[in-house]
Structure 1
Amino acid sequence: MPELGLNTISFAGRAAASTQFKTLYSEGMALVEETASYLDGNGRAASKVLPRMASVLYAAESMRLTTRLMQMASWLLLQRAVNNGEMTREQVLAEKSKVRLDSFNVDRNAPGWNDLPESFRDLIERSLRLQNRVALLDREIYRAPEAAIVPDNENGVQAQINLLQTAFAGN
Structure 2
Amino acid sequence: MNILMVCTGNICRSPTAEGVLRHHLQAQGLADRVAVDSAGTHGYHIGDPPDPRTIRTALQYGVDLRPLRARQVEAADFERFDLLLAMDDGHYRALQKLQLQNPSGQRNTGNIRYYLDFAAKAGLRELPDPYYGGNDGFERVFRLCEAATEGLLAHIRQHM
- TM-score, structure 2 length as denominator? 0.26
More helix by share: 1
Greater RCO (Cα-Cα under 8 Å, separation 6 or more): 1
Higher gyration radius (CA): 1
